[in-house]
Structure 1
Amino acid sequence: MQDCVDGSPSMRMFGAVVRALREARGGSREDFGVYVGYSASQVAMVERGARMPSARFVARAGEFLGAREAVEAAAEHLERRRYPAWFDDYVEKESAAVSLWAYDSHVLKGLVQTEDYARTVLGARVPMLDDDEIERRVQARLERQVLLTRVPPVSLSLVIEEWVLRRPVGGVAVLRCQLERLLELSEKRNISIQVMPTAIESHAGFTGPWTLLETPEREWVAYVEGQAGGLVLQDRTEVSELFQRFGMIRSQALTPGDSAKLIERMASEL
């Protein structure tokens, strides 16, 4: 997933202020970076408005540049995005969804992640995120989970590859808690969780993960995500194909009951 920033005017303004102060002081990006804990390339990204500075960066930059008040004043105007710009459209549709169906083949969907699991996933990102940025993303991810308990709650159907549930994300203790969380969710009437066994030789999901959303107007849209971002699909033909594909993999996966038994067994083995 990309940075939660997209070169907003406030970021470009902050970066321009920092660059002007640094150049006026005669400091190099390398020396400045050592002081604030950033590499020279990361400093360059901040200066051109392509990277959100951390709170530590702001504080240390003010010290290094001898202009604490100016740097802090510029930082007050920073608009810290909760999500990447390309994710906004999906989040808006997700928050109003009547039904949500998804196939996960690499990592669990954010809607069902525990806090520690989410923190591990976000902490593994390359390029590395700052600690405060990770925490912002974790909290934003957890807040989205109100979708599962609101009134009326979303109708959630998940098909998850077995190997996703066996990867010890965050360590054994974190994985065990995550599996227990899935078991708790599977007991809710509005949630169906199915496991696609690794032993299955072939199934309809080999093209990668995707999500289907039903809007309050009872129309379906799809969402696909890759290394460079995500895309909401509304073309009826494309959505129809993913709809058919999901129906097929749901029939090829274990039943919700058998899936719960498998997840419970995996948790007990940890």
Structure 2
Amino acid sequence: MTAVEAEPGRHDDEADEPGWEVDPDDEWGVAVITTVGRQLRLRREAAGLRVPDFGRAVGYGEDMIYKIEAGKRIPRQEFLARADEVLGAGGLLSAAWEDVKKVRYPKKVRALAKLEAQAVEIGIYESHSVHGLLQTPEHAKALFEAMQPPYSSDEVERMVAARVARASVFDRSPAPALSFVLEEAALRRPIGGRMVQRRQLERLLEVGRLRNVMLQVMPLDCESHSGMDGRIELLKFADGTAVGRSDGAFCGRPTTELKHLRVLELRYATIRAQALSPRETLTFIGQLLGET
């Protein structure tokens, strides 16, 4: 890989890392990125620029240029914008971001985000951590960096970006009805350090005050707890259909069967009844924030 001088404002480790690896099992993603890479190569060649010269012009290494042109690397928005400017593409390369951004996250994450974007009601019980929809970027990063075997910095960045993007569910209009039950232990654990914990608690207070959100905490001293089998997720849609999943039921697989959904709904309703009320929860989180 040829080292090049990074552009002003760009971190050194970003100079040769302008994108993410393409999942070979993601057929749609491969097709999109291959097409973008081919267009980039054709325009570069038409401009009479060799890869080393083009790399220096856009501020990225040769190896990354080859990977993007071969459809093996997902380019970032700023890379496409810079390439468009250098090659005089008149905005066509920059416009490719509209397609690229749809496949920049892993296939499974895109499928989940699609369901969340369509749901009119979402119910979540999270048994061991703050749920992904509620996580701050710093909290999510700390969680991914703690996993074993360790992810690369590139993988962590991609997963954090995907998780943060899912939070757009809070900005939908009309807004879906959202309910969350979190464990007290997860809020007390200082993932990423005290400052990260404080920002995460502040985020929970922000979300918990939204009119379409019901946020509850399951206290540690609860003597009866119906969520010991693990996480529960319930998503309901405008056409009356629903999908649910639980770590401790139906082999942990998503289910749309009515009898299975009734079991999950019963468990979730019981957990909510056992947890602190939304008002009590906001008071509790505020007190916990004062202790950190």
Q: 1:257 to 1:200 in 2, by over 3 A?
A: same
**Percent of pairs identical after alignment?**
34
Q: Which of 188, 200, 207 is residue 229 of structure 2 equivalent to? A: 207
Alignment match, 1:189 = 211
Q: Name 2:71's counterpart in structure 1.
A: 77
Cα pair 1:161 1:195 within 8 Å, conserved: yes
2: CA distance, partners of 1:105 / 1:178 = 17
Tell me if 1:122 matches 2:144. Answer: yes
**One of 255, 275, 278 as aligned partner of 1:256:** 278
In the TM superposition, 1:37-116 aligns within 5 A as: 72-73=66-67, 76-78=70-72, 82-116=104-138
State the superposition RMSD in angstroms. Answer: 2.9
Report the Cα distance in structure 1 between the residues aligned to 2:228 and 2:24, rounded to whole angstroms. 31
**Offset of 1:189 from its aligned partner?**
0.5
Residue aligning to 2:156: 134
Counterpart check, 1:162 vs 2:184 = yes
More off after superposition, 119-128 vs 248-257: 119-128
State the match for 2:12 in structure 1: none
Q: Gaps (5+ residues) in structure 2?
A: 1-20, 31-60, 75-102
Deviation at 1:85, TM superposition (A): 4.0
Distance 1:92 1:225, change over 3 A: farther
1:133 Cα deviation after fit: 1.8
Dislocated runs of 4+, deviation >6 Å: none
Partner of 2:257: 235
For normalisation by structure 1, the TM-score amounts to 0.70
| 3-state SS of 1:233 partner | coil
1:201 is displaced (CA, Å) by: 2.0
Please report how far the alpha carbon of residue 219 of structure 1 lies from its aligned counterpart in structure 2 after TM superposition. Answer: 2.0
Change in 2 beyond 3 A, CA 1:86/1:136 = closer
CA apart distance, 1:73: 4.5
Question: CA shift at 1:210, angstroms?
Answer: 1.5
Asked if 2 retains the 8 angstrom alpha-carbon contact of 1:203 and 1:252, the reply is: yes
CA distance in 2 between partners of 1:74 and 1:219 (Å): 41
Relative to structure 1, the CA distance from residue 158 to residue 171 in structure 2 (aligned partners, 3 Å threshold; closer, same or farther) is same
Which residue does 1:37 correspond to in 2? none
Q: Pick closer, same or farther for the CA change 1:105–1:207 going to 2, 3 Å.
A: same
TM-score relative to the length of structure 2: 0.65
Aligned equivalents of 1:79 and 1:223: distance in 2? 33
Q: What is the CA distance between 1:216 and its match in structure 2?
A: 2.1
SS of 2:261's equivalent in the other structure is helix
CA shift at 1:86, angstroms? 4.2
Preserved CA contact (<8 Å) 2:183 2:217: yes
Shift of 1:6: 6.3
Q: Using a 3 Å threshold, how does the CA distance of structure 1 residues 74 and 261 change in structure 2: closer, same or farther?
A: closer
Q: Which structure's relative contact order is higher, taking Cα pairs within 8 Å and 6+ residues apart?
A: 1
Shift of 1:148: 0.7
Distance between the aligned counterparts of 2:163 and 2:130, measured in 1? Answer: 12
* CA distance in structure 1 between the aligned counterparts of 2:272 and 2:144, rounded to whole angstroms: 28
Quote the offset at 1:234 in angstroms: 0.9
Distance of aligned partners of 1:171 and 1:190 in 2 relative to their CA distance in 1, 3 Å threshold = same
Query: Using a 3 Å threshold, how does the CA distance of structure 1 residues 149 and 73 change in structure 2: closer, same or farther?
Result: closer
1:169: Cα distance to partner? 0.7
Deviation at 1:160? 0.7
Distance 1:6 1:200, change over 3 A: farther
Tell me the equivalent position of 1:23.
Answer: none
Q: Which runs of 5+ in 1 are unaligned?
A: 11-58, 63-67
